[in-house]
Structure 1
Amino acid sequence: MDFQTTDLCDAHEEAVRVVDPILGSYGGTSRFFGRIETLKLFEDNSLVRETLGEPGNGRVLVVDGGGSQRCALVGDQIGELAVRNGWAGVVVYGCIRDSVALGRLPLGIRALATHPRKSVKRGEGQRGLAVTFGGVTFQPGEWLFADEDGVIVSREPLLG
């Protein structure tokens, strides 16, 4: 993955949307990209586990967790599941936990913060709809690129 978000922004200024710098990097891979799959939920990670249990094919899961900082939506077990199933990354508008273990995985992870409490499991949430946070609307099927300088979104793949 030889790209930089700065270069992509410069080369495709009109085509990219830049996510506000609200997300920290927690995965073992700081640079990742892929087609977007979306979830919208609140303090319930059942759908996160279910989705990451499917073949990822290099996609990035974008989770709108409502910005909650009262529990974590992704931990080490879910991170390992994502790696086993070929996901490139997970972006969480919410918290993660098991940050040391997640930092060892070959997976890109962006989130608001860490939190030790696990989420509830009610099986609630929605999949495959537009979600908005960080000043950007994420549409399923669009492309997300993340590196040390930030996260950007485009309708086009921009690489290759």
Structure 2
Amino acid sequence: MASLATADVCDTHIALLNSGDLRVLQPIFQSYGLCRAFSGPVVTLKVFEDNVLVREVLETKGEGRVLVVDGGGSMRCALVGGNLGQLAQNMGWAGIVVNGCIRDVDEINGCDIGVKALATHPRKSNRRGVGEKNVLVHFAGTSIHDGEWLYADGDGILICKSEISL
């Protein structure tokens, strides 16, 4: 799936920005993975220092979707590592956005997906299986609904209620 330049999307869709149907996430994320620009329909997760549901979702066919993980902004452990990055690539996910940390950065940087995260952390997460799938999440200054569209590149991350074109 071809990605759109986020700056061009913002310039072209001012009415969507003004209405709130197109939203810009605060610029707090770092970029990882081989795909520095990616887009697709959103699948949401809400977890805290537990990545069992992250693995479960990434084990399903991605079909060009983007996994958005609200990890509560925790800086105490990583929610995605090299194995999950490779799994996401193999299962056809376009990208992963983590409101939290990742690890195994060298491995993730070798994966043909896009990853955005707050930071890196060497410690792995807990494995309790606690969290919620396909729910409204709120971070980086905006709410993100399951099924919305995400567009990401070096300029930032956009969320839109529906797929858009230039």
Q: Which TM bucket (shorter chain)?
A: over 0.9
The equivalent of 1:3 in structure 2 is 4
* Alpha-carbon offset, residue 47 of structure 1: 0.2
* Alpha-carbon offset, residue 3 of structure 1: 2.0
Q: Which amino acid aligns with 1:51?
A: V
Percentage of matched positions with identical amino acids: 51
**1:24 lines up with 2:25 in the alignment:** no
* Structure 2, gaps ≥5 residues long: 17-21
**1:12 lines up with 2:13 in the alignment:** yes
Structure 1 runs (4+) deviating above 6 angstroms are none
Contact 2:64 2:93 in 1 (8 A): yes
* Structure 1, gaps ≥5 residues long: none
The equivalent of 1:123 in structure 2 is 129
CA distance in 1, matches of 2:8, 2:165: 11
The equivalent of 1:54 in structure 2 is 60
The equivalent of 1:42 in structure 2 is 48
The equivalent of 1:84 in structure 2 is 90
**1:64 lines up with 2:65 in the alignment:** no
1:114-158 Cα distance to aligned partner (Å, 9 max, x none): 000000100110001110100111101100000010000001211
SS at match of 1:47: helix
Q: Which amino acid aligns with 1:111?
A: A
* Alpha-carbon offset, residue 104 of structure 1: 1.0
Q: Which amino acid aligns with 2:40?
A: G
CA distance in 1, matches of 2:121, 2:14: 35
CA distance in 2, matches of 1:102, 1:136: 26
Q: Which amino acid aligns with 1:86?
A: G
TM-score between the two structures when normalised by the length of structure 2:
0.94
* Alpha-carbon offset, residue 2 of structure 1: 5.0
Question: What is the root-mean-square deviation of aligned Cα atoms in Å?
Answer: 1.0
TM-score between the two structures when normalised by the length of structure 1:
0.97
